[in-house]
Structure 1
Amino acid sequence: MLWNRLKQFTSEHDGHFMVFGDMNVSRDESERFGPAFKRDEDITFNEFIMDAGLDDVCLGGRRFTWMNKAATKMSRIDRMMISANVSNDFEGLSLVALNRGCSDHTPLFFHNAKTNYGPLPFKFFNSWLKTQAFDAMIRDTVIECSNEVNDSFHAKLKFIKSKIKNWRILMLELKIDDQAVCHDEPVNRRNRWQELDKLQELEDLDSMQKARIKWDVEGDEN
């Protein structure tokens, strides 16, 4: 009934259409992991997309957009669909999945061609100092930097920055999306979720630091 109502609306109105959100249905079996796949649902959904003249924007960054806490069920049910005239009028539209954090859904970032504003400034958050591995990683990176990078101080800082970026990647989410988590390790999964909770606490500290910086720069707008 929902797909028919949306299809009727697009056929009776002339305009640019964007349909997005949690559709609670996938398009094919490759977009699900864990639960039994219902073939009739994906056929109906794909017919709606075709009849309504919509384009399903490709997703980058992640394979799935939802998972349960045990990581036994995953699927791509969040998506963005646009009409052909939207694709023609706005070039370079893309959909990128961001870090999931502690939510069961992955936030999606819909944008057009990225504008290059030059190199981004390097930010250092105090929360990094609260992790045991950070200090050791920096020490090892400095030693490696001294052996492999030329004497340019700028080149060394750039090398260290790249190492920090790699260190910050949440390997857990990438491992889950690649279906590399073993289902016979419930204890390990609970431990990983506890680690995510700790990471969320560190992100909260980062947000507090950003807020203080913004206050110092912009002041109290009231």
Structure 2
Amino acid sequence: MEKMVLWQSLLSFINNNPGHYFIMGDFNAVWFEHERMGTAFSNRVARHFNNFISEASLNDIPLGGFYFARVDDTGKKLSKFDRFLASDLIFRLPNMEAIALDLSIADHRPILLRQGKLNFGPIPFKLFNSWMKKDGFEMLVIED
């Protein structure tokens, strides 16, 4: 099967070239049966796909937006074929997320990889010198 040959080639490359990796694409395979609707699920393909991900030490970046990235013309066949996989680098980049966008002209939703917003806590108080020159500023501060 061609996809298994590709996964084995990717695994061989990763094992022979240590580093950090992002791999994105239409893997034409899913991890679990609930990631497909209206199409046949293959335990064997899922097992090989899961083994590839595990052996390559890759992590699935959770998909937000729409759950299914692939939708056929009738809207009855849905699959989560498209995904971002990342090495442990993902744990060094906080709030990394993948977002499935609206369906356009293709049968696959575009997926955006981005670093989500970081929460640095409350916004610090700011005071501009020009405010102190405004009439009534001192009374406003005293009253509140």
Question: TM-score over 0.5 for the alignment?
Answer: yes
Give the Å deviation of 1:25. Answer: 1.0
Alignment-derived partner of residue 97 in structure 1: 100
Higher relative contact order (CA 8 A, sep 6+): 2
Point out the structure with max Rg over C-alpha.
Answer: 2
Alignment-derived partner of residue 26 in structure 1: 30
- Alignment partners' CA distance in 1, 2:80 and 2:90: 22
Give the Å deviation of 1:71. Answer: 1.4
Number of equivalenced pairs: 115
Asked whether the equivalents of residues 23 and 86 of structure 2 are also in contact (C-alpha less than 8 Å), the reply is yes
Alignment-derived partner of residue 90 in structure 2: 87
Query: SS in structure 2 opposite 1:27?
Result: coil
- Alignment partners' CA distance in 1, 2:101 and 2:65: 7
Query: SS in structure 2 opposite 1:71?
Result: coil
CA RMSD of aligned residues (A): 1.4
Asked whether the equivalents of residues 70 and 79 of structure 2 are also in contact (C-alpha less than 8 Å), the reply is yes
Give the letter aligned to residue 36 of structure 1: A
Q: Any gaps of 5 or more consecutive residues in structure 2? A: 120-144
Give the letter aligned to residue 24 of structure 1: N
Alignment-derived partner of residue 12 in structure 2: 8
TM-score w.r.t. the length of structure 1 is 0.50
Matches within 5 A, 1:164-175: none
Alignment-derived partner of residue 209 in structure 1: none
Which has a greater percent of helix?
1
Q: 1:54 aligns with which of 52, 58, 74?
A: 58
Asked whether the equivalents of residues 38 and 78 of structure 2 are also in contact (C-alpha less than 8 Å), the reply is yes
Give the Å deviation of 1:102. Answer: 3.4
Which has a greater percent of strand?
2
Give the letter aligned to residue 50 of structure 2: N
Where do 4+ consecutive residues of structure 1 move more than 4 Å?
none
Identity of paired residues, percent? 33
Give the letter aligned to residue 81 of structure 2: I
TM-score w.r.t. the length of structure 2 is 0.75
